[in-house]
Chain A
């Protein structure tokens, strides 16, 4: 499995919001186990999608100097299920944090306008160059934004 839970970043307003998409495919490895003969996108994978979208938000807002690591979930509600074939539209926005060293966000995921996840979560920023090749990550961001020029 490629642990990449965002397929497309559709919108970024630095300081405000990032929006993206995760398409749930029957070929996802996790659907074999979650659940046997009853494939449902795991709620935790929706939370990971929001976490990764937050990473892209912080990277794109910092000229790819920072990435986000989750350390706390204040609350995450899971509504109904996301099934294979569903397109989950995701968005993350920063919210207030009492501790200035901690970043807080609210994330939402919907399928056809119906709520699937709403999560308030927190974490810290880590220098991107400590965990990823920065140029490679920039290029992948362009792929997700569909900004790569055809050669």
Chain B
């Protein structure tokens, strides 16, 4: 299993917002045991999807000079029982960001309808990173080939 809960980044606006998508398929590894008589996407996976995508916006906004690790989530709603076979549109926004940490919010829509939301997420920043490694990973993971980066 690859622990990646977005398939692509559709748009990103430095220091402001990001949008991406994740298609949930019946071949997801976690569905083997969640559950055996019905395949239901686990609620926490949506949290991970929102956290991963917004995390990349933070890293991108800091020019890949830091990484971001979730330290708090609050007021989160997730759909408890969705069967795979849908594309989740993931949206994230930065409320504030500093060298030390970031605060944001995120939500997920399916066919235009909000199915999950996270009104508050705080990330702690990690500064021991290799910016080039992060940049390479981001290009690969996001599918974006023409990311403008002022410090590139």
Contact = CB atoms under 8 A, between A and B. Distances in A.
B16 interface: no
A78 B34 contact: no
B4 A42 contact: no
Contacts of A73: 47, 73-76, 78
Helix, strand, loop or mixed for chain B's interface?
Answer: mixed
Contacts of B70: 43-44, 78
B43 A2 contact: no
Interface residues of B, number: 38
B34 A126 contact: no
A44 B51 contact: yes
Given A1-B30, A131-B40, A47 B72 contact: no
Given A71-B43, A73-B76, A133-B36, A1 B29 contact: yes
B3 A42 contact: yes
A147 interface: no
A132 B32 contact: no
A48 B44 contact: yes
B2 interface: yes
A48 B43 CA distance: 8
Interface string B125-143: 0000000010001000000
Contacts of A33: 2-4
Interface on chain A toward B: helix, strand, loop, or mixed SS? Answer: mixed
Contact of B47 (A2, A30, A47): A47
Contacts of A69: 40, 43, 80-81
A67 B71 CA distance: 28
A29 interface: yes
B80 A75 contact: no
Interface of A: 1-4, 29-30, 32-36, 40, 42-45, 47-48, 51, 67, 69-79, 81, 123-124, 126, 129-133, 136
